[in-house]
Amino acid sequence: MGKNDNLPSIRDTNSWLPVAEAFGRKAQIYDSFGQNHPNLTRMRLRVRAHVESLLPIGSHLLEINAGTGADAAYFAARGYRVHATDLSPGMLEKIQEKILRGDLAGRLSAQQISFTDLEQVKCGPFDGLLSNFGGVNCISDLTRITRSLPALLKPGGVVTWVVMPPFCLWELAQLLRGKPHLALRRLSPSGIQANVEGLPVPTYYYTPGQVRKAFGPHFHFLHLEGLSVFTPPADHKEFPNHHPNLYRWLVWLDERLSGRYPFRSWGDFYILSLRYAPKSSEAVE
């Protein structure tokens, strides 16, 4: 990379500074929050298994909003080549720590960049692109991300996004507890201000149909499944320990129903995968 490759572009620096600061604070606690967290671990393993089912070892993978690099380091250790990007300097520090600790310098690289400036990524093209755990929910116009992807992906490349949908059973259940603001927040068409380590972060919730529309006709549907549809959202860390029998039953429901209609569009998140196929799309047109 050139000496300026790690800098966000001027046009996005000011608008994204509060988000970078919020997630910089989050970086200091994120990995420890994931420790001894059965449901978050289960969700992460589900996403990784899905990516591995679509992209063979040795594939070149781009991860946007990579956070502390937990997934990027995992895939690099498995034999993938990974370029991890994130806007937050705090998150990039954690990725660099993982590169050193895991001796991954030849397989994992990192770049500080906004996902609206992906044209600054110069180490492609890539076989696949990953965005995990709702990173893309921080923007009101998904086309600001997707417009850069054709130049980054090889024909046949696979995109896997893990997105927060408007419909989450656990949050809607808060109506029964007299908390309509919490229960209905995902349904706000103008998004909400989420609290991330004391700072407001704009957050928007998308249906799979809205995401697919943002990608356009050159990206073909591959897979959709709900993630933590019946099990509690990730912020309920202690639920499996406090209610082990109920948790096991909810996991059983998740494993059997999360890929079926309508549950596959519900949950704390959903996994959506698309294949970039420009030639076949142009032939149809």
pLDDT of residue 284: 33
Beta strands in 48-91 (DSSP E): 60-63, 81-86
DSSP reduced 3-state for 43:
helix
The structure's pTM equals 0.91
Report the alpha-carbon distance of residue 153 to residue 97 in Å, rounded. Answer: 28
79 token code pair: 């034999």
Residue type, 144: R
pLDDT of residue 4: 34
- The more confidently predicted of residues 5 and 63 is 63
47 token code pair: 């996403």
Domains in the chain, CATH or no CATH each: 10-284 (3.40.50.150)
Beta-carbon contacts of 98 under 8 Å, excluding residues fewer than 6 positions away, are 68, 69, 70, 72, 73, 104, 108
Strands 199-203 vs 126-131: parallel, antiparallel or unpaired: unpaired
Taking only the tens place, the pLDDT of each residue in 212-261 is 999 999 999 999 999 999 999 999 999 999 999 999 999 999 999 999 99
38 DSSP assignment? H
Answer for the pair 54, 158: CB distance below 8 angstroms, yes or no.
Answer: yes
Taking only the tens place, the pLDDT of each residue in 37-96 is 999 999 999 999 999 999 999 999 999 999 999 999 999 999 999 999 999 999 999 999
pLDDT above 50 (res 8): no
Instruction: Single out the residue of 50, 3, 16 nearest to residue 271, CA to CA.
Output: 50
pLDDT above 60 (res 128): yes
